[in-house]
Amino acid sequence: MNPNPKQDLRFCSASPMRSSFGTPGWALFTSLLLAFAPSGCSISSQFQQNLNVQAHLSAARTAPTGSMTTDSGGSVTALNLDDIGLSESALSVGIRIQLDHGPLRFLIDRIETSSSSVGFFSGAFGGADLDPGDYGAEVDIVDYRILMAFPLTAAARGEEGILDTRLLAGLDMTAIRINMISTSDPTVFAEFDELAPAPVLGLQSKLEIAPSWNLEGILTVLPLSEITGYDAECIDGSIRLEWQADPQWNIFAGVRDHSIQLSRTADGRLIDLDLALELVEFGVIFRF
């Protein structure tokens, strides 16, 4: 690093989505499909002809929590989001598209949060050493999931039953960006930028608790390091209460927690992140 304090201290550790994680991810899909193919799940011609689409739109109160620590020569500096005012909740939009084709289901969803503040900081941040002073800080976290759901119960296969339970398999991608900019000299700044892709397994269950009332829960989890080479873990859990106001649309309220722990090494420095998104959401489900 150039000792000149006016030097651009930008640090960016972006990890491309390489075949090193893509190949095992598709291998996971293939093995699960082969495992379930001989299980005797009946797919009628009626199911094969139908494609049901649902759009889930919600207004979510989202707050990031956690910390980032950097080990520079044995001296560890911690950046706690709450200490510098980055844990303030903000209003965001949640989106989920659900496609049902026969007993198989596909889900695509997205959540995000963004927060900014100004506070005092000094020490190591990613690949940079920042002098004591006031810094403007920003954090952006965006999570995408692409999941395939395999039926495990009779209701999930379109038969009689009040419990619809499915095995989930797919890909979770969390994009994390944290930057610090000196308020006295904008040319002095540092940034951490990381994309963490994770093949995941999980369960989705929906229980009919009363006429027109359903309770849905989703949990996805799998250590990233086992498949992608990342030293990280990702866990996502949510629960929703739904009311069927009309055959074409539902109203729901729920909570969701998305956490990720990630370890990276840059410029010989160990960087650890322990971050989470906490959501309280209200929304509607449209059927097409």
Distance CA 30, CA 101 (A): 18
Q: Based on the structure, what is the number of domains in the chain?
A: 1
Distance CA 79, CA 167 (A): 37
283 in a domain, yes or no?
yes
pLDDT band at 44 (very low <50, low <70, confident <90, very high): very low
**CA 221 to centroid of chain Cα atoms:** 11
Distance CA 189, CA 22 (A): 33
273 in a domain, yes or no?
yes
37 in a domain, yes or no?
no
pLDDT band at 127 (very low <50, low <70, confident <90, very high): confident
259 in a domain, yes or no?
yes
CA 276, 281, 283, 285 dihedral sign is positive
Tokens of 1: 């690093």
- What percent of the chain lies above the pLDDT cut of 70? 80
So what's the pLDDT on residue 159?
87
- Beta-carbon contacts of 4 under 8 Å, excluding residues fewer than 6 positions away, are none
- CATH number for the domain spanning 146: value is 2.40.128.90
What's the whole-model pTM score? 0.77
pLDDT band at 219 (very low <50, low <70, confident <90, very high): very high
Exposure pattern of 197-226 as b/e (b: 16+ CB <10 Å)? bbbbebebbbebeeeeebebebbbbbbbee
11 in a domain, yes or no?
no
142 in a domain, yes or no?
yes
Q: What value does the mean pLDDT of the chain take?
A: 82
Distance CA 174, CA 200 (A): 12
Distance CA 52, CA 36 (A): 22
- Beta-carbon contacts of 283 under 8 Å, excluding residues fewer than 6 positions away, are 56, 57, 58, 59, 60, 94, 251, 252
So what's the pLDDT on residue 38?
42
E strand or H helix that includes residue 108: strand 104-125
Tell me which residue range forms the domain holding 170.
19-32+53-287
47 in a domain, yes or no?
no
pLDDT tens by residue, 99-126: 998 888 999 999 998 999 998 999 998 8
pLDDT band at 29 (very low <50, low <70, confident <90, very high): very low
Tokens of 142: 């965006």
14 in a domain, yes or no?
no
